Structure formats: structure tokens, C-alpha cells
A and B are shown apart, each in its own frame.
Chain A
Amino acid sequence: MTVAGLKDATAIVGIGQTAFAKRLPEDEKTLACRAVLAALDDAGIAPGEVDGLASYTMEETDEVELAKAVGFGDLTFFSKVPYGGGGSCATVAHLAGAIASGQASVGVAWRSRKRGSGPRPWTNTTVQLPTPAQWTRPFGLLRPADEIAMLARRYMHEYGATRDHLFNVALACRNRANQNPAAVMYERPLTREMYMTSRWISEPLCLFDNCLETDGALACVLVSKERARDCAKKPVYVHSVAQGLPAQHHGMVNYWNDDPLTGPAWTAARQLWKHADFTADDVDVAQIYDAFTALVPLSLEGYGFCGRGEGGAFTEQGALEIGGRLPLNTSGGGLSEAYVHGFNLINEGVKQLRGTSTAQVPGAATCLVTAGEGVPTSALLLRS
């Protein structure tokens, strides 16, 4: 079977989530169980029918614990994708491949995190330092924000992108969160003045260029297109999938190849579009991984919505707002709904194509969802 054979062969038929908050009382395993059961209930599928699982690293709830707790059947497929937030969309990709090739029939992907009340991974230097981080951490390049700010500064210098462009990204996400009662930033508007006068985290990135710190969990359920027709909800088809790890790439500190500003998005995009029936021009709505605002212009270029160096300018004139050229992160994204390592972007893509988003794009029939840029990444094209 070729990768093209995955085209529309599977569908997401269930989505579930917990509440999102800075602090939730339940532990990660319990939150994971709640999200998974909610997704199965949404699909109208019993837990005992699940035989495929996919997750990504930095997930504390492992397969056996989840399977025991919620009562899955015998599992015949399970995978875990590396590189943290770069793996979100790959979970769905792996399940789609497993189901299309007969390795499983009902697949579940999930993410549970206590990032709001839990520890910061970057502070664990005993884990971080005996890695290539030895070349960066001792010099005070300590956090993901610092690593991405380094690319952002160069990007702004090379192409004339401005803080106003980054603000456009933050604002679009916040405006959508203001429409979403489940969002952490619901009823908390953002102004340009708030943005421009906020404290620095790592210059040139300020507070509002950084994602939220959130507790919460999400899950989704995949089945074949044939089975999807019999499920309770309108199927959302997995049209094309891709992973991307460019030649000579080096984690989030992608500084050591010929062209650090063409990151994993470019590699994933080539694979994604190769097997799709439509192009970037035909995408109705996009959920682009936004751990930091600066990742969005890079991704807009990588996935082909504009040319090299044009990502900043693309955000002008309301392009990312509802009614604009490419409505962005319509649940509020990682910047303003919840930062759950990008899984909320997948579920929001499904809501858009079901027509049930709190910031619905009228008639949305195609959606791009992406995973973390800067790290080895993944992406999905969904269609109704």
C-alpha cells in the first residue's frame, strides 16, 4: 500500500476533552481516562472495542495503565511518537496507517498534561544536559522560549517581520478564545497596548508570544471510513498525513544546518501535499501549532500559504481572523485556549468540519492541523 492509499481511508469519529485550567485537582492518569471515555462516548463506541493506541513522548500516562483503567480490549497496535509537541498529529497518522492496513480497527490517541500546576521540563537539567543541550544550556539558552526566540530574531532581521506581525497571531488566537467558553482566556480580551507593554520572556518574545501553562487532557477516536458511516457523529476524514525531520536537523535548536529558517514544516508539507487532492489555496481553516507566536509565520511559509519571508506580512489585514484569508486556531490555540501539546488543535479541526466550533468558519470543509514546528513535526489534512 502506498501512503496515497491512506487518503480518506479513515475518519475521526469521536473527540473528548476535560476542562482546561491553570490547576486541576485530578492527576494526569485520571484526566487521560476522562478524555478517552468522553471521546469514545462521542463516537458511540464501547471501550472494549478499542484495539489501537497512539501517543507521543512526554506523556506520563502509559498504554498499559490507560488500557487497564478504562477497559480496552486486546490491543494489536500501539505506538509512541518522539519529540514532544512535534508528535501530536503523528498519533492520528499512525492510527490511520494501522487501521488502513488492518493492524487495528478502533484507534485512540490522547494527551494528558499538568503543565499548569506541574514541573517545567526545562528546569530538569540532570535530564537535559547529558544531551546535545551541552552546547546551549551552559550559556544560558535554557528554555524552549529562548531557543525559538533565537530563530525569531534572525527571521525578523532577515525578512523585516515585526512585533506587530507576532501580535496579529496572538490577537487572532485570543479573539477566538474569547468566543470559546472552554478556553482559559475566555472573556479576557487582548489589546495591542497590553501586548507591546508586557514583560519580556526572551527578547524578542514577550509574555503574549508564549503559550499558556495548562492542566487538561484530550483524546480522539479513529475508525475506517466504512465503519465511520455507522457512527453517531459526522465523520471527519483523514485526507493526508505527514511527518517531517529535515536533513541535518537538530531538535528545537535548529541552528546547525544550511538554512535554519526552513524547519520541519517544509519537510512535512512536501509529503502532506504530495498525496492531497487540494492545495494550500483550498484550505478553509488552519490549526497551526502555536507554542510561540513566531512559529506561525514560519509554518505559513512552510505549508505553502505564502512565499519564503512573507509569513509576517501574511498576518496583516485580518488574514488570520474569521472572515480572513485563513482563520487560525479557532478554539484559541495553545496561546489562548489551552496548551496541551497541540492536541486541542486536532479536536478543534474536527469541530470545524462538523460545523460545531464556537468560532465556526461558515462552510468549512478542509482544515490543516500541524504539530510543533522547530522540532521534528507532523501534520494532518482533514476534510468533511
Chain B
Amino acid sequence: MLTPVTDTDGAPFWEYAAQGELRVQACADCGELRFPPRPCCPHCQSFAAEWRLTSGRGRVWSYVVPHPPLLPDYAAQAPYNVVMVELEETPRIRLVGNLVSRAGASLDSLDPERVRIGARVRVVFPEGGLPQWVLA
């Protein structure tokens, strides 16, 4: 499976996720949330940033169900879902992820028929893995 190749801007996201926290970059001056992370605020041009803890709750904005040809590790689990979740507190902040049956379950652990746009979801953090989403 692919793992994120982090950069200076994005590294804190993955470090917080490894600690079981879903945090999003925010401007330390005007407070505007932004994603993906970047060096300065597009609203006020400040370079001061902080990482704000989110509720970890959201809704499915859209989803796809990929079928092969895919990279081998993914083909082995296909068809699986990839969801885009908009966060409850700021719908404009959307995160790509997978909706699974429970933390640590495989990408294909939830029947794609159960995925719906608008479904309420919450983030879970499998040991040593990427953040995942489960139906709330």
C-alpha cells in the first residue's frame, strides 16, 4: 500500500494522525482553516499557522468505487470505496479517505451499497495506519 510522502507543510497532519488526532491547519492570525496545508494564508497572507483539533465528524460529499486496472495492493481489495468527507465544522474542508466497517479493517470491508452521499461519518485511527472513516 502507498504511504504519504510528506513535505514540510503536510508533516504535522500525519504526526497528529499518528497520535489519534484529526487536526487541520488554520491561520494563526485570521483563523481561516485551509487544506491541503501550505506556507501562508490565502485570505490574509500571514505565515503564522496553527493546527486546530476537529470534531472528527463529517458527511460523505462524494465517493467512487475503483475497479482494476489498479496498483497490485489495491487491485487485491477492489472493488473498494474512496470517499470524500466534508468536515462538520467547515464543509469546505474535504478529506479523501475510505469508509470501513471498523478501525483497521480493509478498504473493501464495507459493502459499497452502504455508502451514500450525505451519510454521517466519524474518523477512526487504526494502529500505525492512515486515518479511516466509519458510519456514525
Contact in complex: A135, B71 (CB < 8 Å): no
Q: Given A130-B7, A140-B74, are A150 and B84 neighbors across the interface (CB < 8 Å)?
A: yes
B70 / chain A contacts, CB cutoff of 8 Å: 140, 142-143
- Bound-state Cα–Cα, A200 to B80, Å: 12
B35 within 8 A of A: yes
B35 / chain A contacts, CB cutoff of 8 Å: 256
- Bound-state Cα–Cα, A378 to B77, Å: 37
B6 within 8 A of A: yes
Q: Given A123-B71, A130-B5, are A141 and B36 neighbors across the interface (CB < 8 Å)?
A: no
User: In the complex, how many residues of chain A place their beta carbon closer than 8 angstroms to a beta carbon of chain B?
Assistant: 37
B94 within 8 A of A: yes
Contact in complex: A138, B94 (CB < 8 Å): no
B49 within 8 A of A: no
Contact in complex: B80, A255 (CB < 8 Å): no
Chain B contact residues, majority secondary structure = loop
- Bound-state Cα–Cα, A256 to B36, Å: 8
- Bound-state Cα–Cα, A255 to B2, Å: 21
Q: A128-149 toward B: CB 8 Å interface, digit per residue (1/0)?
A: 0110101111111111011001
Q: Shortest beta-carbon distance, B76 to chain A, in Å? A: 11
Interface residues of B in 90-119 (CB under 8 A from A): 92-98, 107, 112, 117
A281 within 8 A of B: no
Query: In chain A, what residue has the closest Cβ to B131?
Result: A139
B12 within 8 A of A: no
B128 within 8 A of A: no
B97 / chain A contacts, CB cutoff of 8 Å: 139
Q: A3-36 toward B: CB 8 Å interface, digit per residue (1/0)?
A: 0000000000000000000000000000000000
A250 / chain B contacts, CB cutoff of 8 Å: 36
Q: Shortest beta-carbon distance, B108 to chain A, in Å? A: 10
Interface residues of B in 32-82 (CB under 8 A from A): 35-36, 42, 61-67, 69-71, 74, 77, 79-80, 82
Interface residues of A in 105-141 (CB under 8 A from B): 120, 123, 125, 129-130, 132, 134-141
Q: Shortest beta-carbon distance, B13 to chain A, in Å? A: 9
Q: Given A123-B71, A200-B79, are A139 and B66 neighbors across the interface (CB < 8 Å)?
A: no
Q: Given A146-B64, A203-B112, are A139 and B5 neighbors across the interface (CB < 8 Å)?
A: no
Q: Which of A129, A135, A151, A204 has the most B CB atoms < 10 Å from its CB?
A: A135
B19 within 8 A of A: no
Contact in complex: B67, A202 (CB < 8 Å): yes
Q: Given A146-B82, A200-B67, A200-B79, are A257 and B92 neighbors across the interface (CB < 8 Å)?
A: yes
Contact in complex: A135, B66 (CB < 8 Å): no
B28 within 8 A of A: no
Contact in complex: B94, A255 (CB < 8 Å): yes
Contact in complex: A151, B82 (CB < 8 Å): no
B10 within 8 A of A: yes
B3 / chain A contacts, CB cutoff of 8 Å: 138
Query: In chain A, what residue has the closest Cβ to B93?
Result: A256
- Bound-state Cα–Cα, A332 to B5, Å: 39
- Bound-state Cα–Cα, A181 to B53, Å: 60
Contact in complex: B64, A149 (CB < 8 Å): yes
Q: Shortest beta-carbon distance, B73 to chain A, in Å? A: 9
Contact in complex: B96, A141 (CB < 8 Å): yes
Q: Which residues of B pack against A, CB within 8 Å?
A: 1-7, 10, 35-36, 42, 61-67, 69-71, 74, 77, 79-80, 82, 84, 92-98, 107, 112, 117, 130
Q: List 12 A-B contacts (CB under 8 A).
A: A134-B7, A135-B10, A135-B96, A138-B130, A139-B97, A140-B70, A141-B96, A151-B62, A157-B117, A201-B66, A256-B92, A258-B92
Task: Add 5 more A-B contacts to A151-B62, A203-B112, A255-B94 (CB < 8 A).
Answer: A125-B2, A135-B96, A136-B96, A153-B64, A154-B61
